Structure 1
Amino acid sequence: MEKRRIYMDYSATTPVKKEVLDAMMPYLTDYFGNASSFHSFGREAKNALDKAREQVANLINAKPSEIYFTAGGSESDNWSLEGVAYSHKEKGNHIITSKIEHHAILHTCEYLEKHHGFEVTYLDVDSEGKISLEQLENAIKDSTILISIMFANNEIGTIQPIKEIGEIAKKHNILFHTDAVQAAGNIPIDIKELNIDLMSMSSHKIYGAKGVGALYIKTGTKLHNFVHGGAQEKRRRAGTENIPAIVGYGKAAEIAKDNMENHVTTLTRLRNKLIKGILDNIPYTTVNGSLEDRLPGNANFGFEFIEGEGILLMLDMLGIAASSGSACTSGSLDPSHVLMALGLPHEKAHGSLRLTVGDFTTEEDIDYIIENLPGVIERLRSMSPLYDKIKNQG
């Protein structure tokens, strides 16, 4: 009998939907032209590129001319920070971000500090993972050129007060970038309402192919070019476009927009059932992040007296794919920088489990996890002298 396999790591990546693959296939075979070529093969590719740009723009209510295709969310993050830093040096050298950003932001900030003399302020977050708007405003200096705060956190799912952050940035005439890799396509976003100048997005988080993303650049935003060598993406990001992946991204964005209400409603219901089932059945368990302002598919738990790696191994043996944090740092033995920023002690930050649901998650999947996870946690805790002591004390 084949072992049951349940995928609960949609924040790490998503499977490519059949409709997306069907849209991509012709551009891997018959329509293989280079979009920069003038002949009919090139025009076919160029038309597909233009359509995908429009589909991605429609997802966030932007103009197609404001969408620039990249190799993914990390590149979009790097381009935003470095592009603003290098093109606004005459105004200042100060950047504001938060302590729970993706490493594509944090490591770029560290690079700019170390090698180019920029100053970066890393804002604290509260126990739910939200920044303080008051602290943000107090951190602004005359030399501040950019505020970069993620839309929703990839580990704990907390959604930031993006509109209010954008208003603060606009009031002080500072550019505002947000890493929306987890948010764009998973929750409604209207870019015109949010005072955002730059926004990073990714295809493989919304059932498109890996290796393609986008950067929204508001019309009139001054930004250094990122890749030199060709006229692609208005000369701002050179290189022959990955037309099949971009076509797939456009289709994925179209599906996400058309299915947004049902997507949010269904995932929220499944997530809430999962959270309730785990909290009701496993003592000494907490939910990390905001319960109210949270991505619909994200559930992040903290289990006392054990470590996340053990949970993942035992769940994998049961056919359940999960995560203890960001897939980009899964090789590290250090506790999550996000959980540490919430104020969790070292030992609690180590006992985390991220379960993220998606469009292919079923009620039966949730039931299976609720049925099996308590036994996994109890077995691991049985090896903990501290837990044994707590149990004996009642």
Structure 2
Amino acid sequence: MVTYLDAAATTRVDQRVADVVLHWMTSEFGNAGSRHGYGNQAKRGVERAREYLASTVGAEPDELIFTSGATESNNIALLGLAPHGERTGRRHIITSAIEHKAVLEPLEHLASHGFEVDFLKPGPSGRVTAEAVMERLRPDTLLVSLMHVNNETGVIQPVAELARELQATPTYLHVDAAQGYGKVPDDLTAPIDMISISGHKIGAPKGVGALLTRRREDMDDERPPLEPIMFGGGQERKLRPGTLPVPLIMGLAEAARIVEAEHVQWQSAAQELRSRLLTGLAQTRFHLNGDQDCVVPHIINLSFEDVDAEALLVTLKDSVAVATGSACTSASYAPSHVLRAMGLPDEAASNGLRFSWFPSQAADLDVEALANGIAKLQPRA
């Protein structure tokens, strides 16, 4: 039995969510854009889901649109704001060097089209400070994009603090909350202008997410002035055309309800597994990557001494499913761009191993067997 320890990449769909998705696929299966009974049922379901999901981040229903996931949400937020920057002469953007590729690559695209992008490095803590961002702020700074929780280290970034700092400026804040939504909920109720959400990190199906675009009171209650990057229909305030995937949307809302209702128990179970794992691994030699005082309880990134991470993956493949980094880049076997940005030497950056879990999907973890397997690969000290 292989224990699943790669929840930062994706999670198993909760059975309660699967039941909801199946219902909306086979019973109330109408198109939310159709003007008959089936369509009206679907439309009402979507609006209930929108209302609930917006409420989880302290927003209004009309401030949230549905997307295919955080990658699309990131692209709409970043590329969709660019025309406003071009019209106003505000072409400066601040981000971090530890962002997911779904943020880094759109920003690299903008950099190739005349935008100036500052990539802040966090240092060994893996945490970019709000002060470091504010020091780079300029009159022509259009946007700050900073992730909520790093997908490789689990380090929580100070997005709530930064949101409050930026409220006194015309600079917008975008937060990729793929890893933090549902896990650190209070942060996302801060006055963040744009939030990207992913469903499959919280037990919802792959292929659904959301983008929040929050109004600002000091800007006449205007949302960030986004323009569409896709065309072909008027759905989702004309920002995301296409037929709404009603079953997936209903599944996302159900997953969010479950995560909210079970948050306290989930956090406790995740922390218990973390403690059990670290205690068991004490017989091995490793270094924890990132500030352990500012991490979510369900992600650990370790570099094991004198052990090649790829060889370790092969050794462990029949017992645990773990990753060397983001699922979008781990196939390249290159040193982690996150760990390198934190200042780790290439050897340590190449050997970072990420353990991440939903407690219910990792309850059968045999920590002793895992630790013994790793210890056997390490030369005696």
- Give yes or no for contact 1:62–1:191 (8 Å, CA) kept in 2: no
Partners of 2:259 and 2:374 lie apart in 1 by 35
| Aligned partners of 1:187 and 1:264 also within 8 Å | no
Tell me, in whole angstroms, the C-alpha distance in 1 between the residues paired with 2:71 and 2:378: 37
Partner residue, 1:233: 236
Residue in 1 aligned with 2:251?
Answer: 248
The question of 1:167 aligning with 2:164 is answered yes
Aligned to 2:118: 121
CA contact (8 A) 2:5 2:362 kept: no
2:213 is aligned, of 213, 217, 224, to: 217
Change (3 A) 1:225 1:189: farther
Match of 1:320 in 2: 320
- Aligned partner of 2:146 in structure 1 is 149
Tell me if structure 2 keeps the 8 A contact 1:271–1:357. no
Residues 129-150 of structure 1: CA deviation (Å, up to 9, x unaligned): 0113332122111210000000
Identical aligned residues as a percent = 37
Instruction: Return the offset for 1:363.
Output: 4.8
Q: For residue 269 of structure 1, report the CA deviation from its aligned partner.
A: 2.0
Alpha-carbon distance between aligned partners in 2 of 1:252 and 1:159, rounded to the nearest angstrom: 22
Does residue 310 of structure 1 match 2:299? no
Structure 2 length-normalised TM: 0.94
In the alignment, the residues of structure 1 paired with residue 60 and residue 297 of structure 2 have an alpha-carbon distance, to the nearest angstrom, of 27
User: Is the CA contact (8 Å cut-off) linking 2:340 and 2:346 kept in structure 1?
Assistant: yes
Structure 1 residue 81 corresponds to structure 2 residue 82? no
| SS of match in other structure, 1:344 | coil
**1:187 counterpart = 2:188:** no
1:23-38 pair list within 5 angstroms: 23-38=20-35
Q: Partner of 1:270 in structure 2?
A: 273
State the AA in 2 paired with 1:121.
D
Using the TM superposition, give the Cα deviation of residue 156 of structure 1 relative to its aligned residue in structure 2, in angstroms: 0.1
Partner of 2:360, secondary structure, is: coil
- Report the equivalent of 2:96: 98
Report the aligned-residue RMSD. 1.5
Matched residues, number: 373
CA distance in 2, matches of 1:164, 1:158: 15
Match of 2:201 in 1: 205
Give the CA deviation at 1:30.
2.1
Give ranges in structure 2 of 5+ residues lacking alignment: 216-221
Asked if the contact 1:59–1:254 (Cα under 8 Å) also holds between the matched residues in 2, the reply is no
Structure 2 partner of 1:385: none
The answer to whether the 8 A contact 1:83-1:223 is kept is yes
Residues 269-292 of structure 1, C-alpha deviation per residue, up to 9 Å, x if partnerless?
A: 2112212321x2112x11111211
Distance 2:86 2:68 in 1: 26
Q: Which amino acid letter does the alignment assign opposite residue 331 of structure 1?
A: A
> Out of 249, 261, 264, which is 1:261 matched to?
264
- Give secondary structure in 2 for the equivalent of 1:372: helix
| Residue 375 of structure 1: how far off its partner (Å) | 3.0
- State the match for 2:334 in structure 1: 334
CA distance in 2, matches of 1:239, 1:88: 27
Q: Which amino acid aligns with 1:297?
A: H
Whether the 8 Å contact between 1:20 and 1:251 is mirrored in structure 2 is yes
Of residues 69, 94, 103, the one that matches 2:66 is 69
CA distance in 1 between counterparts of 2:62 and 2:248 reads 19
Q: Following TM superposition, by how much is the alpha carbon of 1:211 offset from its aligned partner in structure 2, in angstroms?
A: 0.5
Indicate the larger mover: 169-178 or 105-114: 169-178
Deviations 1:79-104 (A, max 9, x none): 11111122232331011000000001
Once the two structures are superposed, what CA deviation does each residue of 1:110-147 show, in whole Å capped at 9, x if it has no partner? 11111x21110001102110113332122111210000
| Equivalent residue in structure 2 for 1:59, among 53, 56, 61 | 56
Q: What CA distance in whole angstroms lies between the structure 1 residues aligned with 2:364 and 2:103?
A: 37
Aligned match of 2:110: 112
Q: Which runs of 5+ in 1 are unaligned?
A: 383-387
Q: Does 1:7 align with 2:4?
A: yes
Describe the SS at the equivalent of 1:327: coil
Q: Tell me, what secondary structure is at the counterpart of 1:117?
A: coil
What TM-score results when the alignment is normalised by the length of structure 1? 0.91
Partners of 2:187 and 2:110 lie apart in 1 by 31
Task: After TM superposition, give the deviation of residue 173 of structure 1 in Å.
Answer: 2.0
Q: 1:190 to 1:348 in 2, by over 3 A?
A: closer
Quick one: structure 1 residues 361 and 139, their matched pair in 2 at CA, closer, same or farther if it must change by over 3 Å?
same
Q: Give the drift of 1:346.
A: 0.5
Contact 1:147 1:174 in 2 (8 A): yes
Secondary structure at 2:331 match in 1: coil
Q: Which residue of 284, 287, 291 maps to 1:282? A: 284
Which has the larger displacement, 174-183 or 123-132? Answer: 123-132
2:218 is matched with which residue?
none
Q: Alignment partner of 2:196: what SS?
A: strand
**Contact 2:159 / 2:187 at 8 angstroms: preserved in 1?**
no
SS of aligned partner of 2:300: strand
The offset of 1:244, in angstroms, is 0.8
